[in-house]
Amino acid sequence: MKIGKKYIIFPLLLVTILCGCGKSKEPVSNKFLDSINIELSDEPTSKNSEHTYQVSLTNSKNELVNVDSVEIILTMKSMNHKAEGKLKKTSKGVYKGKIELPMDGSWSKTIVLNQGEHTRKVNGTLIK
């Protein structure tokens, strides 16, 4: 039995496309982002499930520094809950935002710093 070229080329082309699609470049940090110290404060608001998070960013000289954007990701793995939000710059090196949590409890916190094409994710153990 002879198989035509189109029956061989099409599956190979399909496999090539599927393998290449969906793969995005993993974001990488840089020296500037790696040198930033992060301080996080959490203040419950008047609403039961709403919290105000404030992130302060400083360099090695303890000077406030800016980045393009700051995000916070909160996860409660035991309950499979996740909440996240982009924080707004309120002053040099200070970013704030309100996040509504589905419930009180122990939430893991990750801060994401973005500067140009560079990204640094910092989990709660490295946050002051």
| Model pLDDT, residue 127 | 73
User: Considering the domain boundaries, does residue 26 fall inside one?
Assistant: no
Please give the average per-residue pLDDT across 15-20, as a whole number: 58
User: Considering the domain boundaries, does residue 10 fall inside one?
Assistant: no
| Model pLDDT, residue 77 | 87
Helix (H) or strand (E) holding 9: helix 5-20
User: Considering the domain boundaries, does residue 14 fall inside one?
Assistant: no
Domain that holds residue 55: 31-126
Report whether 125 contacts 38 (CB < 8 A).
no
pLDDT tens figures, 31-63: 999 999 999 998 877 777 889 999 999 999 999
User: Considering the domain boundaries, does residue 8 fall inside one?
Assistant: no
Q: Is 31 helix (H, G, I), strand (E, B) or coil?
A: helix
Higher pLDDT, 10 or 33: 33
User: Considering the domain boundaries, does residue 64 fall inside one?
Assistant: yes
pLDDT tens figures, 77-123: 888 999 999 999 999 999 999 999 888 888 899 999 999 999 999 99
- Dist. CA 85–CA 83, nearest whole Å: 7
Q: Please tell me the pTM assigned to this model.
A: 0.76
- Dist. CA 21–CA 17, nearest whole Å: 6
- Dist. CA 44–CA 46, nearest whole Å: 7
List 115's β-bridge partners, or say none. Answer: 118
User: Considering the domain boundaries, does residue 94 fall inside one?
Assistant: yes
Pair of tokens at residue 80: 């499979």
Number of domains, the chain: 1
User: Considering the domain boundaries, does residue 12 fall inside one?
Assistant: no
The answer to whether residue 67 scores a pLDDT higher than 70 is yes
| Model pLDDT, residue 106 | 86
| Model pLDDT, residue 103 | 86
CATH number of the domain residue 38 falls in: 2.60.40.1930
User: Considering the domain boundaries, does residue 87 fall inside one?
Assistant: yes
Report whether 72 contacts 128 (CB < 8 A).
no
